Amino acid sequence: MTAAATIAIELRVARGSFVATFRPAPHWSRWIQRHAGVRCAWRPVWRIGHGPFRGEMACVPLNGAAKGLAWAPESELVERADRGSF
């Protein structure tokens, strides 16, 4: 019998959103890099529990603005602005 690995994530009810530009780290694949420069509204949803982005919020693009990109760590979202200024 094998033990199943469990990964815990901290879900959070995020209030509000912000506008930011996606700037992925250079080590990401071309599939991720193709989204570089996408600017849209984002919402923080969960805190990342492990890996190089541990402790950061994972943010999802709103309104389908970044098709093919499910989420991004907050450190790769730059030029943040209040959603009202977009």
Cβ-count burial of 84 within 10 angstroms (0-12 exposed, 13-18 middle, 19+ buried)? exposed
pTM of the full predicted structure? Answer: 0.74
Has residue 12 got a pLDDT over 60? no
Summarised one tens digit per residue, pLDDT across range 46-60 is 999 999 999 999 999
Q: Indicate whether 2 belongs to any domain.
A: no
Q: Indicate whether 37 belongs to any domain.
A: yes
Q: Indicate whether 41 belongs to any domain.
A: yes
Residue with tokens 């992925």, as numbered in its chain: 24
Task: Tell me the residue range of the domain where 42 lies.
Answer: 10-85
State how many domains the chain has: 1
In this prediction, residue 64 carries a pLDDT of: 81
Q: Indicate whether 62 belongs to any domain.
A: yes
Q: Indicate whether 1 belongs to any domain.
A: no
Sequence-separated contacts (24+) of 23-27 with Cβ below 8 Å: 23/76, 23/77, 23/78, 24/72, 24/76, 25/76
